[in-house]
A and B are shown apart, each in its own frame.
Chain A
Amino acid sequence: MIRLERRPEASQVMSYASPLIAILLMLIGGLLLFAFLGKNPLEGFKVFFINPVSDWYGVSELFLKATPLMLIAVGLAVGFRANVWNIGAEGQLIVGGIAASAVALYFQEAEGAHVLILMVIAGGIGGMLWAAIPAFLKTRFNTNEILVSLMLVYVAQLLVSWLVHGPMMDPDGFNFPQSRMFEDSALLPLLSEDSRLNLAFVFALGALLAGYIFMFRSFAGFQMQVAGYARDAARYAGFSAKRMIWIGLLSGGAMAGFAGMSEVAGPMGQLTEHVSSNYGFAAIIVAFVARLNPVGIFFASLLMALLYLGGEQAQQYMNLPSSISNVFQGMLLMFLLGSDVLINYRVSWKEARV
C-alpha cells in the first residue's frame, strides 16, 4: 500500500528536486499528449523543445521571450516571499506599456536618449500605479489583494483596447486597432544586429542581481522573509506589515510595468491590444518553479520561454492549436503543486498490516 508519511522536518533536497520532478512529469505528459493527438511523440519533442533553440536566432528569441518573464517574476518574488500575493502583473504590464507608449507618441519627433529614459520611468510608474490600487485597498480596508489585483487585469485589458481603438489609434493605420509605430529614438537598442534581442535583457539580468541582493543581503528583504515564514514573529519584531505590502506590490508592479515598456519599445514597436502574451500570469508560474529565488528565476524563465517558442513551432509544423503552450504551462504548475507535497511528506510502500 502506498502511503504518505509526514516528514519530521521539511526536506531541503525535495524543495529543490520538486521543480525538476515537475519538469520531468510535464515532459512525459507532453509526450503522452502528442501520442494521444496522433503525432509522433519523439517528433513532437524535437519540434517543441529542440528546434526552437537549434540556432543563434532561436536562442536570441528564447532570451527575448524570457526577458519580461525574468523581470516580472523577480518583482513578484519579492512580494511572494512576504506572502503578498500580487496576481495582477498582467494588468500592471499593460498599464506600464500604455504609459511608455504615451511617452513615445508624445515625443514622436524628438531625438536622443531622454525619450527612452522617460519611457522606462513611465513604464515603471504605470505598473506601480496599477499595483498601488490593491496595496492601498489592502492596507486601508484590508481587502484581498489577490482578488483586487486579478480583477484589475481585466480593467487594464479593456483600457488598452479602448485606447488603441480611440485616442491612441494610428490615424494613418487604416483603422487597425494599434498605435503609430515608434520612432527609432523610442526603441530599445538591439544587442546584436541579426536578432531582436535588446537592451532589456541586460536590464533583466541586472534586476535578477538586484533582486538577489535585496532578498538575501538587505534587512528589508530579511524582514519580508520573516513575514512570509512567521507573521507573528514579524509583528513581534516590529516590522511594519503595511510597509511590506507596499514594497511587495510596488516591486511587482514596477517590474511588470517595465516589462510592458520593454515589449512596446522592443519586439512590438507600437502599442496594440496584445501587449502581453500572458507574461504576467506565466511569470507567477516561473516564480514558483524557481522557489522565489532569482537564480532559479533565470532558468525557469528560459524554460517558460521555450514553452512559448515550442508552442509556436508546434502550431507551424505539427498543426496543433496555439493553446498547446498554455497546456504545457498548466501541466508544469499542476505537477509542481503536486510534487511539492513531497517536501513535507514522503511516500512509503508499506504492507497493510492485518
Chain B
Amino acid sequence: MTTAADGGDELRLELNGITKIYPSVIANEDVSLAVKRGEIHAVLGENGAGKSTLMKMIYGVAKPDAGEMKWEGEVVHVENPAHARSLGIGMVFQHFSLFETLNVVENVALALPGNPDLNKLAEQITEVSNRYGLPVDPQRLVHALSVGERQRVEIIRCLLQNPKLLIMDEPTSVLTPQAVRKLFDTLRQLAAEGCSILYISHKLDEIQELCHVATVLRDGKVTGDCIPAEETPKSMASLMIGKELPVPEHSVPGELGEVRLQLNRLSRVSDDPFGTDLQDIELEVRSGEILGIAGVSGNGQQELLYALSGEEPLNDADAIVICGKSSGRDQPDRRRSNGMGFVPEERLGRGAVPRMSLTENALLTAHQAGMLKHGMIQFDKIAAFARKCIADFNVKCGGEEHAANSLSGGNLQKFIMGREILLAPKLLVVAQPTWGVDVGAAAFIRQELIDLRSGGAAILVISEELEELFEISDRIAVIAEGRLSPAKQLADTNIDEIGVWMSGMWEQPAAGVAAHD
C-alpha cells in the first residue's frame, strides 16, 4: 500500500453534483468525487449502482443532466470520446473493442488520430509494453491473443496517448491471479509516474490491495468515501450494498450418490477456426457435489459447454453420459428431459430472449413441465411458474409480463438460474454463474447452488472467477488449451496451485510446479 505520488494535492478531476436521469431510472444523483494526480481511485458499487454511467459521462459518451465537471481546475463539457482523449482521458472498457482479423498495430492505429506510420507505431508499442511490463507482439493477429493479452492491447492503446487519467472498467474479471498481479504492478507504476486511475470494481479485496481512495456508489448516489486500507471488506460491503455481505454457508459434503455426468474421452475439433479443440476430456460429477472447472477464458470452456448442452452435439454418443444415458448425440431438449439443466454464460440472446416477457422466457426451457396441452401453451400455468421464480429467487422486476431486457444483468441471471433450479434438475451445468452480477445477487446465486447440491443434485460450474470456485466447489479441475486437469478435492489444493495449472502445467511433478513459482 503506497500513498498517492508526489503533488498529491493537485486535483486532476473534480465532479460536483453530477446527475443523470434516464427515462425510467435516475442513474446518478448528485454525485461528487475528486481524483488527485497520481491517485488510484476506486469507484465501488454493485451492478446497476451507476458506476458505468458516471464513467461514460467522464469519457464523453453520455452527457450529465446537471452538475459540473472540472478538469485540472477548469470547468469542461466533454463532447465525445475524442474530446476526452484530447484532454488526456483514456478508458479501457470491460468488453474489448478490437478487430479480431487485424493485428495489434493495425488495431492500435485505428484508434489514433490521423494516419500513423505502422512501423514506427510498432516500435512505440514495443517501447510502451516493455516500460510497463505489458508484453505483447505488435505483429500478432488479435484473434490469436488471450483475453489478458487483448486487455494489454487496450491498455497500450490508451497509454500511447499519454493519458493523465486512465479509467479501468472491471479489468480483472478475465484474468488469472498471476495476470492480476502483473496488471496491478503496471497500474502502480503508472500512478507513480503521475497518471491518475479511476478503477471500477465490485471486488473488495482488489480495491483494498490497489486503491488509495474509494468512492462508494449505491443506487446512483454516493454513500461514502473511504480509504480502503483502513477499512475491512465487511465495512466496505455494507457501504456498497447497505447491509453486511452474506457469505454462503457451505455445509460439509454429504454422502456422494450416483454418477450423474460422465465424460469419456470427449474430443471435438472446433468448427470455429479461432476456436479451441477439445482433447480427451474425462470427468465425473456425482449426486451431491459441485465440481468447479477453472481456466482462463478461451481455453475450451465455450466448446465444452456447447458439447455438454447439446447445442453442438457430438458424433460419439458415449462421450457424454447424463444420468446413465449416453447423450453425446442428443439435442438440448432430449438432455433436458433426461434431467439436465443448463445455465449459459450469455443471458440475453441465449439464456433468454431479450424482447420476450419473463413468462415467455420461462417457457423456453420449462415447456416440458406440463405447460402445454395438445401443443397449445397454457399461459396461466406458465405465468404462475414465472411468478414463483420471481418470488423465490428474489428477482427485481416490474412483473412477469415485462421483457427480459428490462432487467439488470444480476436479476436476469437470478431469473434464469431460478427457472433451471425450479425444474428440479438432477444435473445442473452452469457457466459463469455470477459474471457481472452484483455482490448481493452473486452471494444469493452461490447459496442457491450450494443448497441445490445439498439437496442431492450434481452440479458442474465452469467459471473464470477463482474465488467463486473456491467458495462453492467440492472438487476443482482446470481446463487449459482444450485439455482438462484431474480434479482435486478443495482441501488438497489452493489458489496458487490452480493458478499455475491454468497455464496448462499440471502434468509435471510437484517440483516442477515449485520451479515455476
Contacts and interface: CB of A to CB of B under 8 A. Distances in A.
**A and B found bound together:** yes
A238 B375 contact: no
B328 interface: no
A300 to B, nearest CB: 22
Given A217-B376, A218-B376, A229-B355, A236 B350 contact: yes
B356 A218 contact: no
Interface of B: 22-24, 79, 309-311, 331-336, 342, 344, 346, 349-356, 360, 363-365, 367, 372, 375-377, 405-406
Contact of B360 (A10, A222, A238, A239): A222
Contacts of A109: none
B349 A226 contact: no
A234 to B, nearest CB: 8
Contact of B355 (A10, A218, A219, A238): A10
Given A233-B364, A236-B344, 12 more contacts: A8-B22, A217-B377, A218-B377, A219-B363, A229-B355, A233-B352, A235-B311, A236-B309, A236-B350, A236-B351, A237-B332, A237-B364
Please list the 6 inter-chain residue pairs (A to B) with the smallest Cβ-Cβ separation, ordered nearest first: A238-B333, A238-B332, A232-B350, A230-B353, A237-B364, A233-B353
Contacts of A218: 375-377
Contacts of A222: 360, 363, 377
Nearest to B360: A222
A111 B360 CA distance: 50
B376 A219 contact: yes
A237 B406 CA distance: 21
A9 to B, nearest CB: 7
A92 B333 CA distance: 34
A239 B350 CA distance: 12
B331 A238 contact: yes
A236 B311 contact: yes
21 contacts: A217-B376, A217-B377, A218-B375, A218-B376, A218-B377, A219-B363, A220-B375, A226-B353, A226-B356, A229-B355, A229-B356, A230-B349, A232-B346, A232-B349, A233-B350, A236-B311, A236-B332, A236-B364, A238-B333, A239-B333, A353-B79
Given A229-B354, A229-B356, A238-B333, A219 B367 contact: yes
Interface in A197-230: 217-220, 222, 225-226, 229-230
A326 interface: no
Contact of B334 (A8, A238, A353): A238
A226 B336 CA distance: 18
Contacts of A238: 310, 331-336
Given A222-B363, A236-B344, A238-B333, A229 B377 contact: no
Interface of A: 8-10, 217-220, 222, 225-226, 229-230, 232-233, 235-240, 353
Nearest to B333: A238
B260 to A, nearest CB: 19
Contacts of A240: 331
B273 to A, nearest CB: 17
Nearest to A231: B349
B44 to A, nearest CB: 26
Majority secondary structure, A binding face? helix
A25 B349 CA distance: 35
A264 B363 CA distance: 43
Nearest to B361: A233
B330 to A, nearest CB: 9
Contacts of B351: 233, 236
B310 A230 contact: no
A235 B332 contact: yes
Nearest to A235: B311
Contacts of B365: 237
Given A235-B332, A237-B332, A230 B375 contact: no
Contacts of B360: 222
Contacts of B350: 230, 232-233, 235-236
A8 B376 CA distance: 34
Contact of B23 (A8, A219, A226, A237): A8
Most buried by B among A8, A219, A229, A233: A233
A225 B356 CA distance: 9
B159 to A, nearest CB: 30
A232 B353 CA distance: 9
A236 B377 contact: no
A220 B376 CA distance: 8
B336 A230 contact: no
A47 B230 CA distance: 84
Nearest to A353: B79
B148 to A, nearest CB: 26
Contact of A219 (B24, B79, B354, B377): B377
A235 B309 CA distance: 10
A352 to B, nearest CB: 11
A237 B333 CA distance: 6
Contacts of B332: 235-238
Nearest to B25: A8
A238 B375 CA distance: 16
A294 to B, nearest CB: 16
B130 to A, nearest CB: 41
A350 to B, nearest CB: 11
A215 B377 CA distance: 11
Contacts of B22: 8
Contacts of B353: 226, 229-230, 233
